[in-house]
Structure 1
Amino acid sequence: MKRAKLIRILLLLAVFLPLLVSAQEEESAEVFLEEYTDEFQEYFFEALKQKGIENYDKAINALLRCKEMDPESPVIDHELAKTYRLNNQMGLAQEFALDALRKQPENLWYLSTYLELAGSRSLDLNVLKGQIPFENTRLKENLASLLVEKGKFDIASRLLKQLDQSEFKTRMEARIADSLAVEDNNMVPEPVEGEEEEPDPYQTRVSRLQDLMEKANFGQLEAEATDALEAYPLQPFFYFMKGVALNGLERYESAEEYLLMGLDFIANDEELTNKFYKELATTYQGLGDPDKANMYLSRIKNGS
C-alpha cells in the first residue's frame, strides 16, 4: 500500500513539478491528491498510466470522467489539452488549453501549452488580447519570457512597453539587448584582431554541460543543469542533462520525473527524443523495472 501511494504521488508530481519549487508546495500537491474521492484518484492515475503507454483514447476517457467530477479543475483541462495533442485532436487540445489558462492565467506552463497549440496566431498580440486574460500582469510577464525564449524580440519589446517598470522588465530588456547584440555580431565582418566575440550564453551552457557529462562529474552537472533550467525553462536539452546527472547520482525517481517532463517540450527532434528514451531506459533499469526499460529502448528510431 505504501509503495502504491508513493507511485501515485510521484505521478502527481510529474504533472505539477514545473510549478513546485519548495517542500511546502510539494505538500500542496499531495493535498490536491487527498482532497478528491478515491474514484477521482483512480481515474486520474489511470489517465496518467494510459498516457504513458500511449493509449491516448483511454487516457482521455479517464480524464473526462475526472472532469465530470470536477469541471473547474485547470489541472484536468491542461492534461486533456496535452493528451488531445498527442492524439492529434488539435481543435479539442486548443479548447482545453485555453480553458486551463483562463482558470489560472498566471500559470507559465498553461500559457506555454496554449501558445504551442495556437501556432503562429499566438504571436499576434491583438489576437491574444481577445482570447486570454490579457489584463493580468503576471500573464503578460510570462508571455514576454516565452517570446524572448522563442527569439521573438520585436514582439516581446512591444509587450514590455505595456508593463510598468520593474526588475523583471529591466532583466528582460537587458536579455533582449544582449541577444540582439549577439545576432549583430554574427552579421558583421570578422572582429578586429585583439577583440573577443561575445559568446552565446545558451550555447555556452550547452557546451559546459556536455563537458561535465563527458567527465562524469554528475554532482556539478546536476547543479548547473538546475541553473540552466531556471534561465531556460522550456528547453528540453536541459531537462535531459538534469536526468543524466540524476541517473549518474543514482537518484532514479527524480531522474524519471525530469526526463518525462522534458519529453513534453520536444518538437520534431528525433535525435534528442532518442537520447531521452535511452536515458529513461537507464532510469528504469535503476528502478528495477526492466519492462519499462525495454519499452523505451523499443521506441528508439533508426538505431540511434
Structure 2
Amino acid sequence: MKIKKYLVSSLFFGMLLFPAFAFAQAEPDDIALAEDKFQDNFYESLKQKGIENYDKAVIALEKCLASKPENAVVHFELGKNYLSLKDYKKAYEYFQKASVLDPKNKWYLVGMYDVCYQTRDYNQAIVIVDKLVPFDANYKEDLASLFMYTEQFDKALALINELDESVGKTPQREAYRASIMKDSKYEAVEKDKLLAEIKKNPKDESKYIALILLYSDSNQEEKAFEIAKKLEKEIPDSDFAQVGLFKFYLNNNDGEEAVLAMNKVFESKKVDAKTKYKVLNEFLIFARNNPSFNADLDRAVSYFNAEEQVASTKEIGKIFYAKKNWERAIHYLEIYSKNNPQEVEPNIFLLQAYAESAQFEALSKKASELIDFFPLQPEFYYYSGLANNQLKNHKKAKEFLEMGLDYLLENRDLEINFNIQLGEAFSGLGDTKKKEQYFLKADKLLKQKMQ
C-alpha cells in the first residue's frame, strides 16, 4: 500500500527565518563580525548541500550552532543534511529540536514526518501528522493512508467517511474502503449506518448509492434491488437508481429491462465515467452469451465520446476473439485498427480472426497494408503468405514469406508456421524438393518444441 506524502520543501527556506539575537554588552564591531561569520558558515552549508557534500554542510552548520545554539533554522538544516546522509536518528533529533524552538512552523514537523516515512515508523508518523493537520487539512489524506497501513481500520473508515463528505471521493479512498469492506464486521456496521442515514434523510441520494454498491459487492442483489427501487420512489429522477436496477435485471437475465436501465445510465450527466464503464463491461459479458443483444451493445458503445469508443472497441474485440466469435471480434477490431493503425497486438488479433473465418481476401489486403506500416514485423509477412497461399497466389506467398523470415527472431511457433506456409507455396509452384525441405524443417522444429 503506497502512502502519498504531502511534502514540500525549499532550499533557501532557512535564509528567510533567522531570528534576531541581541548581543548584550558587546561592541558593535564584534556584533557585526559575529553576524558575518554566522552568515558565511550558513551560506557555505547551503552551497555544500547543493552539491551533495552533506558532511561538509554539517560541519559548517555546527559552526553556526556554536554561536547560535537556539536557532531553529540551523537545527532544521542539520536535520535535512543528516536525512540525506540517512542518519535518521540525528535527523529526527534536529527536526524535533527545531520544532520545540519554533512550534508554529509546520516544516519542522514535516521533517520529522519525512524521517518516520523513510524509516517506515508509521505509528510515530501518525503522531506527527496529527500535529500537521491543523496547519494543513490536506494531511488528512496521509492520515487515512497511515491508518490503513497500521491496520487501524475503524479510524481509517471514520476518516474516509469524513473526507468523502467534506471534499468528495477519490479512487484511492474508494480502494481503501473496498479493502475494509472485505471484513464482514465492517460491512455490516456500514450497512446499518447507511440504512439509519437513509431513514433520517430519505432524500440523500448518495447514501442509497453507497448502500446499493455494498449490497451488490456482497452478492446481495435482492437487497440492492430493494434499495434501488426505494431510491427511485423517493427520487424519481435519480439516474443512480438505474445502476442498481440494471444489475438486478441483468442478474435475472431480463435483457430488455437491463437495456432500458443501461441506456438511462449512459444518457445521464450525473453518473461518473467509471460507473458507466463498469455497466458497459457487465453488459458486454451478457451480450457475449446473448447475441440477440449485439445491436444494443453497439448502441452502448456509441454513448461514449470518440476516444472512449475507440479504446473500448479493442477490449470488446479481444473478448469476442477469446470466445471465438470471429464476426463480432472482427467488427470491433476493425474499428480499433482504423483509429490506431500504429498498434501491433490488436492488428495481429484482427488478422488471425480473418484467417479463422476464412476471409482471405480481407486478410491479404490488411496484411499488405500493415507491412507498409511495420516493415520489420514478421507476423504480417506470415499472414500475407498464408492468405496468398489460400488464394492460390503461390508465387506472391513465397515472396512475402521469404522476406518475413529475414525479420524472424527467436519465435519458434512462428518459425514453424513460416516453414509450413513456404512448403505450401512451393507445393503450389510444383517444386517438390523445396516443399519437402520446408515441411521437414517444420516437423523438426515441432519435435524440438515437444521435447
TM over 0.5: no
**TM-score band (shorter)?**
0.3 to 0.5
Higher relative contact order at CA 8 Å, sep ≥6: structure 1 or structure 2?
Answer: 1
Q: TM-score, normalised by structure 2?
A: 0.29
